[in-house]
Each structure stands twice: as C-alpha cells, then as structure tokens.
Structure 1
C-alpha cells in the first residue's frame, strides 16, 4: 500500500489527503463514541492508519473494541461492526481494495464505443437477479453466495443477471474464483453489470474476463450495459460505475457522458410509443437507502429522470450496492424501487429501515449463523414475465420465499430483539 501511495504524483496525493484525514477522523470518533456516522469515504476509514503505521493506535483499538464476532454490534444501516470477513472493519477493505484503487487511480480500461442492440427474449420468461454476490465461499460451511448459486438453478431461470460487485477489488483472480466459477447460468443467457468494486482495479478484469469471458459474452460483449425486450417489457441494464468519481471510490453512481444516456432516452421513448413497461437495472441506488429522502436527488436519479422526461417512467428499478434486501413503496412517479444488494455480504438488522415510511419490506430474519450471530439472511429476486403480467418474488439464501407484493413475508421471523450475541 505504501508503495502504491508513494508512486502517485504529488498533486494526486494532495488531492487525496483531505479525504484520508476526514475518514481517519470519523474512525477516531467511532472509537470514542461507539457511533459510526454515515461516512462519505467508508472504504478509506483505516487507510491512513495503514499508511502511517498506526502511530496513533486506531487499528489496535479497533481490534480490541470490535473483534471478529462483531462485538461492536450492528450499525443503523445494518453494517456489522466487526473485523471478521467482509464485516464493516474487515482490514482487507483498505489493505486490498485501497491498495488496488491507489494503483489504478490514474488508469482505467477504455469504455467500449457505441451501444448494444436490444436482445429479444421470450414473452414468457423467468429472470433471476442477484447483486453484490462476488465473495466466493468463505466460513466453515457454505457461504450465502454458494448457497444461492446452488438454489437458483432449481428455479430453472431463462436469464440470470448480476448487478455488480466482486470483492474485494474486482481483480482477475477474484473474478474467477469468487464470481464466474460459481455463477448460475440461465438457460437463455446471463448478464453482468459493472460496479464500484469492479472499478477499483480500473475495470479491466470486468471488461475482459467477465463481459468478454465465456459465461457472459454470448449477448453482452463488449458492453457494460444492455437491453432485453419482448412484446410487453424492456429490461435496461446500465453501467452506473464507470463514470462515477474515482476520487470518491466510485461510490456515487453516474452514467457520465457515455453513450448510455442517448441509449436510455431512445429506448424510453420507444417503450412509451409501443406501450411497453420498463424495468431498470443499475448497480448503484437511485434513492438514499435509509432516512428521509433529501430534497436534492442523487446524481444517478437526476440522469435517469432526464432520459425519461416526456415519457413514461420505469415501472421498476432494481439496484444493489447497499447490502440489504429492501422493497420500497412506490415513488411519486409510480416507480417501484427494489434493493437486492444482499447477495452475499454479511449484514445485520438495519433499524433505520424499520421506521422508514418509504419501506414496504426489508430482510430481518436471522441467518442463525453460529459464526456470525448478528447476520440476517442473504438472498436474491426473481421476476416471472408472462405477457403483460409480472410476478415478483424475493427469496432468501435457504431457498424460502422471503417476500412478495401480494403475500408479504410468510416466514414468521422472530423479532429483531433476538438477534443478539
């Protein structure tokens, strides 16, 4: 990591220093108060400590206070405040992701020119979608991603779609061992979106080995965005990561100045003319995940809204990025937003969602994980299109129906209070 930092030009170090200082200060505040504020630069919380050799003892105190089992409890957004694998203070978020990000701060795979043609799909089709899935197998038994990869094929999906994130930094080795090797292929085809973690290494492995590899290249190569359509529906997957700000670790989604906006605008207009409903897919969230929505919309939301101006807004918008399973109530324009970022990473009870008037459902069931007692279940979503009709189902990692719009959550989970160490 120090070598990657020292290799940066002086002006780049100067641009990054205020971010590292702010994140380091937030970590210090957490160690004093036990309360983790919503960090703007969460993946950088410990980066300065590693670079300075932990002379102020932040890392040492964090190990003492949190520990692998998540003794720090669960944050308001569901983050498990421990140092175990893929928990909030897992040191590899900074050690590996941070190093790879620094190494590729000034280098990025070229964005392919042009735009893809829409792929025609059957009018009756089953689509399984999962996000933030790329952890591979970890822990003593099957990890959530392994369990999900075994269960999805039992549903016989025609199409399977990943909404992004292979951990820790989307490197070639991680793409192979933690994602493509266990991906459940659809009988018709599979598609994969780009994401912030896939961009930490500049996006090369994603473009060359995922989109360009044997699992996803049939219909998608060389593009990181795509469209599927039949007589009644358009499913549009967008790359919200490539043009996000590298200095903020690609955390805030954007379509940038690529061909995607005219691509989206053209499809939105045609969908309205042909009376087709649109299902939008991105990695990044279109609205803040918790709390009262800011009067200033997220950049990605503004860009999407501009593309649909004068037409019919999307019927559905699915995203990942936030590591929770959430079904939101309709937006003012009627769009139904869904977060399926709970594909693999350990996450706990997000109490901020409990009192959020926008939320229709979120995953609260304990995973009964002996290694991580605070963890709630991971899962994925399935869409069944039958002509103009759509059936939507959230499943958990154990293969149970977790939620449907018509039936709610049938599992009768115990109350949140039982999720204790």
Structure 2
C-alpha cells in the first residue's frame, strides 16, 4: 500500500473565503417536518372549532323545539356568529398550511451521490473509500473531495482486478503521523472495497441500512461493531430476518459456552424486599403501609434495552410522566453483557462521537428485572453488576441497590409484585441457550426460594389488597403458545382464585387479554387481566389481523405500521413492516389503579423518515382503563377506553362502560 502523506497533521481546516460565511442552507427535510407538525396542530384546532359550532347548532335546535325553554338555557348559548367566524378563520389557516405542505413536499431533497463511501473511526477520523475505478480517480484528484493536507492511500489489486483509493480526512487528527488504529481501519476498508479481497471476514456497516454509515473496526477482538450515526444500534440490527443479526448473536455467545450460570440471589437474612411506595422504607414482616392520599406513578415497559433511537424516544416518554418509580421488565440485547448494558441501559457512549441510551429513573427508584436475554450470558452482568445499581433511592438520590432480582412496591390498597421468571430460561447452560434461542424457546419456571418468598408475600388470605404482577415472560399471547409454568406457581400461593392484573413482556407487541371466566390448571391457572408491554424497543413485524392463540381471552392489539425496514436476508433484500414501540403508566390512587398505554409520537406525525426527530410530547394513547380492588381482594375492571387504531376481536366488551377514544390524543398533562 503506497501513501502520500500531508506535511503536517496539526493544521486546521481551511478558513472560509474572504467573502464571509456562506449563506445558510435550507434544510428541506426539517422544513417539511415542521410544516407537517404545524398543519397537524391546525387540523386539530379546526376540528375543535367545527365541534363547538356543531354543538351550538344542535343545542339551539333542541331549545327551539321546546315550547317553554328556560331563559338561563337560552342565555347560555354561545354566539353562533362568533363560532362561525372562528371556524372560517381556522379553516382558512388550515387550507393555507395544507397548500404549504404540498409545495414543500415537492422540493427535491435528494443530494447527488458522492463517489465514495464514508466511515468514521472511533477517534473521529473520517475515511472516504472510492466506490468504483472511475470514482477512485474523482476521489483522489478532485479538490472537491480531498484537500492538500489529507492522507491519500491506494490498495493495489491483483492482476486484472482494480484496487481502491482511500482518503483520510487527517486534518481531524493531531500529531504528525496517522494513528496505527486508523491505518488498520484504512487497510481493511480498502481491501474490502477493492476486488483484491477474495475471502476473509469483512463486513460493511451499510448492510444494516443507510443510517449505519459509521463503523468502528477494533484492532483486537472478534467482531466489528457497527453503529448508527447517533445511537449504538438501529432497528435493523435486531430483526431475525437480517443475516448479520444471527452472525453477531452467534459470535457473542460462543465464548460463553463453557460458562456456568451465575448463582441465584437469595433473600438476605432480615430482609423482606417489600418497600412502602410512599416512604421508600422496607416494610417488616406483617407490616402494612400507612394509608395516604398521595397518588403513586409508575412508568413500566419491557424489552427496551436495544440502544436505538426508538428506545431513547420511549425512555423520554416514560420520564415525561414524572414517575415515582420506573420498571424495566427485562431484556437488554443481545445477551445482557456488560458492554451492552453500558450503551443500551446506562447511557454510556459506545465511542467518542456516539451516544448511549439511558433507562429513566423515577424520583424514588428504578427497578430492572431479568429477561431471557440476560440469561443468555448466564446472568453474570445482571446479578453481579446491574442489581447493585438499581432499587429504591436513598435520601441523597443515589440508588440503594437490589439484593435480589425480585421485590414488591406496596401501598395501603395495592401490591405491585416484581418477579424473576427468567432465571431458569436456559437451565442447561449457554450451549443450550444458544440452541433454544435459535428455536425461540425459553422456560419460565421460578426457583423454589423465589416461590417461597411469593408465598410469604401473597399467601395471607386476610390481606385483601389488589395484586399487580410485573415480570418478563408472557402468560398470554395472541399469536403463539405461552409459557404458563410461572402462572401455575403463582396460582399455587394465592389464597383462592384471586383476580389480578399481570403486566409482562417477551412478546414484542402491545396486547390486551381479559381475565378468563373459569380457572383450569392446563390453560388458565390464573384469573389475570393480562397486558403485554414487550413493545419497549425491540423490532417486531406487524402482527396478523386475526388472533390464532388465546382467542377466548384476547381483546385487542396494536398492528399500526411504524415504518418499513430494508434488510439483507439469507435470500436477498427484504422489506419488513414493523410496529411502534411504547410503554405504560400505572397510577395508584387509593383503591383505584389506572393504566394508560402509549406509543411515542414523531415530529409532525411522520415516523417514516428514520431520523432522530421524535417529538416526545406528541404521543399516541392506545388505551386507558381503571381497575378497582374489591373487598374480596379481587381486581375488577370498571372503566375502559380503547383507541380506534387498535385491532379488536369479536369478544364482547369486558365491562359495560367501554368507550371509544380518539386515535391520537393531545399531550397528557400531569
């Protein structure tokens, strides 16, 4: 490889021309998104103006047919002329904005294709690799694409095979020589993009899609790490239809085959793992939280640890609810390893120019549970490094740590029970885990000591407080078989056939299942209002419009299209339609528990652009429901509102006052 180096690496970029700064460029994509957002608001204002005018007209008609209307009713009528004027004004504004959006939509935003591919090193150096032989010449010779102080390199091809030209924007680095790691990166990229390479392990970040245009190639280590422009990963990296997903997974798990499973954390002596939701104090055996008028807010999701911009949007939405507690019901991808927790959960940047994604903390605590993916790495990172960084908060705001992978948050009326149903996901070790996960298998039976703790916490027949379970593995699923071993264990410790609420993940979609009318040990061991929240961040194809499993209980699910991914499958290019990601908010207020289910909103309502332009305040509310604990300890659904965008089954409504709601709501105000 020949190289022509610049004289000095400490020169800065060339100064702007004497004519001053160039005119500010227009961002058509940003302009389009902002115009769409303003139009969306204007449409809502127009709808409200029309609704007010229509309500006035209807009320007038009702009063005019009344032979003796009350004067007070007549005086209460709004000024119809003013309402009509307001409606006309909003209609004119909406029409003008709609025309503006149509004009902006026609702007040509496609930039000319550059003659090179761009990669970024971990230390910020930009590497440009020529696409073809003619474009190699443009990259190496045109001043438009290289400067005098850049480093130009050439990989010679074998006879009859063209080589590759590479330019390093070396002015971004300090020192007189290229760092050795940059040279190695350049060498591998040049070899990969030339025809000289006829074998060996090379990989392009572009295989994941256009957002993954920055790549770090470590000098030491078995894998290449491809990242999106701003986030550790993007959705394509987790699709089972993406070839590279399985390669990364297999490369990650092979070193762990000889590892033993981390020992299960038992309940420490003298501990109950029951925390008062109001005071954060750990309750003694037999003690009950004092009654309080304070409403407790808990934000919860599952399958969130993906490190994508979608995960960041969901986390911001959860934090925006000002929760007292946040709960993650398991799965940090790919396998809950330390580096994955760093970037995908704790928010540590994966490299100097990137960023990490941090799970939000509640004002009083943050809990994270096991998922089957944490157990792919035998639970080492989760049990030894993650648990000490979670739990309720101390007075100084630090997290006190979780001694085990389960626990309870309690009020005078409710018990929120967080369970570990994933420790035994792969009981036969990492090799079994690899094979089972390829076949999408995982067990959900809880350890005996965990069940013994549940018996102490839930077994008192005189404790009539409502029960809300949170755990990773699903008790229900509209589209495949479910694991019910954990449900049988819980049924075995409950006093009688208690009716409960169960929030879970594992299935990467939002689903709602009703409590079964009858209990049987084979299919319905529990009377549970089951809600699947596994749509935290992981990729999920749009589900069918018909449920094929749990048809006797499935009520609704979300199958709206978020965006279409372009993948590289085993058989060639493949498009995959995926659904939205989201979270739930639980509010405990006396004997009442209100659940709201959300997905994130995007700027101007447009989520197809793929850019990190989420408008966190603009969220979609899928459903709202209210449960009330009865004197028997059963949890009854008393009120429910469902979005018109949900897919519904033909089951009768589970409660008399089920009301429809709009597909998109105004931002919820705490």
Whether these two folds match at TM > 0.5 is yes
Contact 2:563/2:578 (8 A) holds in 1: yes
Mapped pair 1:321 → 2:500: no
Mapped pair 1:402 → 2:594: no
Return the alpha-carbon distance in structure 2 between the equivalents of residues 322 and 364 of structure 1: 13
Return the alpha-carbon distance in structure 2 between the equivalents of residues 132 and 366 of structure 1: 19
1:1-400 alignment runs, 5 A limit: 84-105=236-257, 106-114=259-267, 116-122=272-278, 123=292, 124-137=295-308, 143-181=309-347, 182-213=358-389, 218-246=399-427, 247=432, 248-249=436-437, 251-257=442-448, 259-270=449-460, 272-290=461-479, 298-308=484-494, 310-313=495-498, 315-332=500-517, 333=519, 334-351=527-544, 353-354=546-547, 356-368=551-563, 374-398=577-601, 399-400=619-620
TM superposition shift of 1:164: 0.4
TM superposition shift of 1:315: 1.2
Equivalent residues, number: 325
Distance of aligned partners of 1:174 and 1:314 in 2 relative to their CA distance in 1, 3 Å threshold: farther
TM superposition shift of 1:287: 3.1
Contact 2:236/2:565 (8 A) holds in 1: no
Contact 2:389/2:400 (8 A) holds in 1: no
- Does 1 or 2 have the higher relative contact order (CA < 8 Å, sep 6+)? 1
Return the alpha-carbon distance in structure 1 between the equivalents of residues 392 and 386 of structure 2: 6
RMSD: 2.8
Return the alpha-carbon distance in structure 1 between the equivalents of residues 553 and 644 of structure 2: 22
Q: Match of 2:668? A: none
TM superposition shift of 1:214: 5.9
Structure 2: where are the runs of 5+ without partners? 1-206, 210-234, 279-291, 348-357, 394-398, 520-526, 567-574, 602-618, 626-638, 649-670
TM-score w.r.t. structure 2 length? 0.45
Return the alpha-carbon distance in structure 2 between the equivalents of residues 366 and 286 of structure 1: 25
Deviation track 1:48-105 (CA, whole Å, cap 9, x = no partner) reads xxxxxxxxxxxxxxxxxxx978xxxxxxxxxxxxx93211223454333334444334
TM superposition shift of 1:369: 5.6
Return the alpha-carbon distance in structure 1 between the equivalents of residues 339 and 333 of structure 2: 10
Contact 2:274/2:409 (8 A) holds in 1: yes
Distance of aligned partners of 1:251 and 1:400 in 2 relative to their CA distance in 1, 3 Å threshold: same
Return the alpha-carbon distance in structure 2 between the equivalents of residues 353 and 160 of structure 1: 33
TM superposition shift of 1:362: 0.8
Contact 2:391/2:401 (8 A) holds in 1: no
Distance of aligned partners of 1:302 and 1:132 in 2 relative to their CA distance in 1, 3 Å threshold: same
Return the alpha-carbon distance in structure 2 between the equivalents of residues 409 and 189 of structure 1: 30
Contact 2:420/2:446 (8 A) holds in 1: yes
Distance of aligned partners of 1:68 and 1:117 in 2 relative to their CA distance in 1, 3 Å threshold: closer
TM superposition shift of 1:196: 0.8
TM superposition shift of 1:354: 4.2
Contact 2:300/2:318 (8 A) holds in 1: no
Return the alpha-carbon distance in structure 2 between the equivalents of residues 94 and 394 of structure 1: 32
TM superposition shift of 1:145: 0.7
Distance of aligned partners of 1:156 and 1:185 in 2 relative to their CA distance in 1, 3 Å threshold: same
Return the alpha-carbon distance in structure 2 between the equivalents of residues 266 and 413 of structure 1: 39
Return the alpha-carbon distance in structure 2 between the equivalents of residues 379 and 393 of structure 1: 11
Return the alpha-carbon distance in structure 1 between the equivalents of residues 333 and 407 of structure 2: 23
Contact 1:131/1:164 (8 A) holds in 2: yes
Q: Match of 1:46? A: none
Return the alpha-carbon distance in structure 2 between the equivalents of residues 127 and 214 of structure 1: 15
Distance of aligned partners of 1:276 and 1:407 in 2 relative to their CA distance in 1, 3 Å threshold: closer
Return the alpha-carbon distance in structure 2 between the equivalents of residues 263 and 187 of structure 1: 27
Deviation track 1:338-385 (CA, whole Å, cap 9, x = no partner) reads 110010012232116546342222112222467677122111111110
Larger radius of gyration: 2
For residue 335 of structure 1, give the secondary structure of its aligned residue in structure 2: strand
